Structure formats: structure tokens, C-alpha cells
Amino acid sequence: MTSLSKSSPSANFYKFATACCAYYVIAQVIQEAALRHGINDAATGEQGILQRLLPLDQFRLLAILLSFFPILVAFAAVTLRRVRRSPAASVLGFTFSLLFVTAEVSTRSIDLFLVSKKWAMEYHSAASPAIQQLIAGRIQLWEESVGAFYFVLLAGHLLASACFAIATWDDYRWNRIVAVAFILNALRLTSRVAEGYLGQSWLDPVNNAVYFPAVALIFGTLTFWLWKQTRMVRNEQEARRTV
């Protein structure tokens, strides 16, 4: 029993994972506030390019970019907590979540540090309309290419959510609740894939309307579940010491 407790993550790890998941929710709140107070997510052309130079937009992009490293910690905590009961689903869940996070970080790093901080600035300071047109075409090509990256991103997140739903589902009430949250996330992502890649454009206003409340609810639930694991792991470790 002693070796088992030493090989298991400590309660402090789950406490850290709780904070990581909470930051992901906070980053989503920051983005939602920015989009409601100064940033037009639908802006195109010159307006969209110059908007990239706004400190608020760059702060939003940075907050979201930095949130994907912590959410990977939260996914790792789910995996480690459930791997003994559901090894295949847990490991596959983390594998797909790693694909999701890698795609997100890669795409958003290029978008922030190359497109917003370099190309948009070059557009703003260009000496002639011809140079501006050249840079605008480059930015437009990038924005159109993001759709290809997003298929991998959404598919990875969808599959991870489905696997974690399987891994967490059991008779314990809070495990079933977080499993339902993962199922809802998988359904949300299925809707986005159908909209973007299966021609179901009628889902666009629905996906836009539910994005923030759904993400806040789903990952807020995961945050609370991780906090519950902190207490449970602490109790389990204390029980092992008395054996």
C-alpha cells in the first residue's frame, strides 16, 4: 500500500490541476468580455487587420494562448485519476487532448506573434498601397488556412471528450456529472464540425450563441470535479497511512 500511494499523484497535484482548469475558464471570460467591449470578431479587410494591433485584442489572444498549457494539466489529472479503472479510454483521451492542445498552441502562436504582431504592423506602416495589398493577401491566406488546422483541432478535442466521458462514467454521482459535461462538449464540437466541414452552415448562429456559456459550464464543471478529487485523494492517502 505504501508503494501504491507513492506512485499516485498527490492531493496537491489535483489542487494545481483545479487552478489550471479555473484559469482556462477565466481566459474564456476575458475573451468574451473583449469580444463584447471593443473587439469585432467578424471584422474583415483593413478593419480586421488594424484591429489586430489593438492592445485589447493582443491581450485576449495571449490569455487564450496561455490557457492551453494549463488545460493540458487538467486533462492529465483526469487521465491519472481514471487510468486504473478505464485505462484505454483514459490514455486515448489524453492522447487526443494532446493533439488538440498542440494544434491550438501552434495555430494561435502563429496568429499572435507572426500575423498580429508582425504582419499587421507591417501593413500599418507600409509605404504604399501595393505593399499593403501584398501583406493583406498574405493575412487573408493565413486566415483561410486556419480552417484546415481547425479540423484537426476540433476532431482531437471531440475524440478526447468522448474518451473522457467513457473513462469517468460510473456509479459515483460527481463522476457521472463530469461525464455528462464531456458528452455535452463532444456534442458541441460535433456541431462545429458539421458546420465547418459538412456544409451545415445553419448551425453557425447556434454555435456562436452557445460557445461561451457551454464552455464556461463544461469546464466549470471539470474545475469543480478536480477540486473534489483533491479532497478524495487526500482522504485516500490518509486512509492508507492508517493501514
Q: Give the model confidence (pLDDT) of 179-189 as tens digits.
A: 999 999 999 99
Q: Give the model confidence (pLDDT) of 126-136 as tens digits.
A: 989 999 999 99
- Cell representation of residue 30: 476575458
Structural domain span for residue 220: 2-241
pTM: 0.92
Average pLDDT of the residues of the chain: 93
pLDDT of residue 7: 53
Q: Give the model confidence (pLDDT) of 183-211 as tens digits.
A: 999 999 999 999 999 999 999 999 999 99
Count the domains in the chain: 1
Per-residue b or e along 178-190, where b marks 16 or more CB atoms closer than 10 Å to that residue's CB: bbebbbbbbebbb
Q: Give the model confidence (pLDDT) of 58-86 as tens digits.
A: 999 999 999 999 999 999 999 999 999 99
Q: What is the DSSP string of 202-223?
A: GGHHHHHHHHHHHHHHHHHHHH
